[in-house]
Homo-oligomer: A and B are copies of this chain.
């Protein structure tokens, strides 16, 4: 291990220890799946109590950096972060930023559609048959009449996540999916009448068709229309006083 920590006082011990281990992981001195020393041994090495070590480990676990297993051959292991864990973390962060840092609805929508337009450029050249199939499956779903508003939104999220994946670039897929999912609560605030849903499904189909024909321009046009339409819906929602935050489903 050889984890040193140059005491920046005023930070609690558990924070210092967490930082020491975190940097050891991030710059590779501890490799994935490697087992850390036991809590008892860590408290010895760092010269602190076991509770303090534990609080440090919990911090790291909350960042998905380590995972703890019980039992005789248990311990804390450097965690290979999964796509899902990373995405959950991204979504949480984005939602917090949106919720607490005066990010306007319009700004969120713009960021999301800007990102997606970038993805479409790549996806048009690369998307596979199976991506298209999944896209069309979601479109069908969106057209089924007995779908709650929230399920419709969820399908919308899935659709655009697939667009991200269709770029064939895992990082773009990750950022796209994170952004779309983070904005689901915002989208959930909108009211989708039946003809809104059909209009949206049609535009989605336009995108899918454009991708199938490898026609990026057509895809962009449909996305642009989708963005405008979303803005219209958002304006309607905003207009009649934005109160009564009930999303009365069922």
Q: A37: which B residues are within 8 A, CB to CB?
A: none
Inter-subunit contact A95/B32 (CB<8 Å) = no
Residues of the B chain whose Cβ atoms lie less than 8 Å from the Cβ of A230: none
- Known A-B contacts A172-B111, A175-B115; A63 and B62 likewise in contact (beta carbons under 8 Å): yes
Count copies of this chain in the complex: 2
How far is it, in angstroms, between the C-alpha of A119 and the C-alpha of B62 when the chains are bound?
A: 32
Contacts A121-B114, A169-B110 given; does A83 touch B62 at CB 8 Å: no
* Known pairs A63-B92, A80-B100, A86-B93; A179 contacts B170 (CB<8 A): no
CA distance A172 to B96 in the complex (A): 15
Does A203 make an interface contact (CB < 8 A)?
no
Q: Is A122 among interface residues, defined by CB-CB distance under 8 A?
A: yes
Tell me, in angstroms, the Cα distance from A143 to B14 when the chains sit together: 43
| Nearest-Cβ distance from residue A153 to partner chain B, whole angstroms | 15
Please, which residues of chain B bring their CB within 8 A of the CB of A28? 99
B169 and A175 within 8 A (CB): no
| A137 on the B face (CB < 8 A) | no
| Inter-chain contact B97/A174, CB cutoff 8 Å | yes
Which B residues are CB-close (under 8 A) to A80? 100-101
Give the contacting residue for A54; candidates B55, B83, B95, B179; CB below 8 A.
B55
CB of A146 to closest CB in B, whole Å: 26
Contact of A117 (CB < 8 Å), options: B54, B99, B108, B118: B118
Which residues of chain B come closer than 8 Å to A107, judged between CB atoms?
169-171
- The answer for the CA separation of A61 and B60 in the assembled complex, in Å, is 11
Interface string of A59-73 (1 = CB under 8 A from B): 111111100000000
Looking at the assembled complex, report how far the CB atom of A180 sits from the nearest CB atom of chain B, in whole angstroms: 12
**Residues of A bordering B, CB below 8 Å:** 14, 18, 26, 28, 32, 51, 54-55, 58-65, 80-81, 83, 86, 89-90, 92-101, 103, 107-108, 110-111, 114-115, 117-119, 121-122, 167, 169-172, 174-175, 179
10 A–B contacts from the bound complex (CB under 8 Å): A55-B58, A81-B100, A86-B97, A89-B89, A90-B93, A98-B171, A110-B172, A111-B169, A118-B118, A175-B175
